[in-house]
Amino acid sequence: MHRSVVDPAPGERKPAEQPAGRRGHRALPVGTVLENRYEIQRVCGRGGMSTVYAARDKRFSQVERI
């Protein structure tokens, strides 16, 4: 049997498929304020279940990871 380049091997995902937890996931824009306290400054990292941001704590004027 001949398989084309676009056909996945048995048991493999098609490229368009994503794990359920990643569908529609978008980073918060820089400047977004959460809970009227934390201002997003940048993305620190992304993992399988979440994104970690550097955010300025407006109450204490320091950078936190959330």
pLDDT at residue 18, as a whole number:
46
Q: What is the pLDDT along the chain (66 residues), one digit of tens a residue?
A: 554 455 556 666 555 544 544 555 688 999 999 999 999 999 999 998 899 999 999 999 999 999
CA distance 57 to 37: 6
pLDDT at residue 48, as a whole number:
86
pLDDT at residue 33, as a whole number:
97
How many other CB atoms are there within 10 angstroms of residue 61's CB atom? 7
Give the number of domains in the chain. 1
Please indicate, yes or no, if residue 9 is contained in any of the structural domains.
Answer: no
**What pTM was computed for the model?**
0.60
Please indicate, yes or no, if residue 7 is contained in any of the structural domains.
Answer: no
Please indicate, yes or no, if residue 17 is contained in any of the structural domains.
Answer: no
Please indicate, yes or no, if residue 54 is contained in any of the structural domains.
Answer: yes
Please indicate, yes or no, if residue 55 is contained in any of the structural domains.
Answer: yes
Residue reference for tokens 């995902």: 13
Query: How would you classify the pairing of strands 38-46 and 62-65?
Result: unpaired
pLDDT at residue 11, as a whole number:
65
Beta-carbon contacts of 17 under 8 Å, excluding residues fewer than 6 positions away, are none
